[in-house]
Amino acid sequence: MKTITLVLPFLFICLLLWAGFSPVLAQDKSLKKATFAGGCFWCMEKPFETLPGVSAVLSGYMGGTTQNPNYENYSAGGHLEVIEITYDPEQTSYQQLLDVFWRQIDPTDAGGQFVDRGHSYTSAIFFHDDEQRDIAEASKRVLGGRAIFAQPMVTPILPVAAFFPAEEYHQDYYRQNPIRYKYYRNNSGRDRFLDKIWGKGRKLFTDKELRVNLNKLQYEVTQEDGTEPAFNNSYWNNKQAGIYVDIVSGEPLFSSHDKYNSGTGWPSFTRPLVAENIVEREDRSFFATRTEIRSRWGDSHLGHLFNDGPQPTGLRYCMNSAALRFVAVEDLAREGYGQFREAFEP
């Protein structure tokens, strides 16, 4: 009788797991994977591990003809060094992962990456489904059309293959061996190349592109931490329904639902529309300590956060109109923000 008592709960749990009722399994089903090759996998882990919604970044091998490769023989088997990213698409999109990926590599180098030479160190995007393939191809096409690089982009877009995790000592190498990692990174030539192409902030657009696409005030506010005149800007008194996005990156930031008249002459909000797209930084300029607000993907200076707003949050996100672009409700779907349309329906 005691044996039956112990076995029945075990069988019941197994049935629940098989039927898909496990909260852990349900959570896992919402996660996706992305796989990139960008040369030395030591250098590729860190940029992705800091992104919202990324739960794991593993170094490994992919693309060869041998099974269970290791660090001693993966190159002979035709494998590339890759990273496999597990992420929540509700917090970070595949396009955003690609934006980070392109800013870590030289996509014009068919012979390796920086100091590391040979096929095993070449770059590649391994897509897990048709949607990832289409997004990757479009991303590569758009980036190539911007003429940022002197040579054509050669990074291939390939179907995902078997992933073989690298040895434990390769995982999070930059954390486990920070001194050796910094020495290697500084001497690899990677950062010198990336700083030359993108600038030290690794921004979505080069400074030249920003100066062409932004007017003088927009550039001054977003790139030089400027402030526009109060009561003399586009949105301080805008009462239309819609959302406000970053003028540089287009990432959604605020909603008209949370906008209020603060009396300051700048557009003010009680909360962000997508909290993950907002970055807070300490600002000690002008002999005071304030909280600066920047966009995560565009790295645009947006404004400042204060604690004198109305309830329920008590917050005032005081933004610059010059850092924002307004998208009206009727234009949300057409401009790719259809997921926010439901919030405006009666």
Q: Which residues are catalytic?
A: 40, 318
Tokens of 105: 């590599």
Residues 303 and 318: beta-carbon distance below 8 Å: yes
Tokens of 45: 């882990």
CA 110 to chain centre: 25
User: From CA 92, how far away is CA 98, in angstroms rounded?
Assistant: 11
Report how far residue 292's alpha carbon sits from residue 107's, in angstroms, rounded to the nearest whole number. Answer: 34
SS3 266: coil
Q: Which residues pair with 157 in a beta bridge?
A: 125
* CA dist., res. 107 & res. 84, Å (int): 19
Number of Cα atoms under 13 Å in the Cβ half of residue 143: 26
Q: Is the peptide bond before 156 cis (omega within 30 degrees of 0)?
A: no
- DSSP H helices, the chain, are 2-19, 23-29, 41-49, 94-102, 130-145, 173-176, 178-188, 190-198, 207-213, 216-224
CA atoms within 13 A on the CB side of 209: 16
Q: Hey, is 23 helix, strand or coil? A: helix
Which of 49, 46, 52, 101 is CA-nearest to residue 279? 52
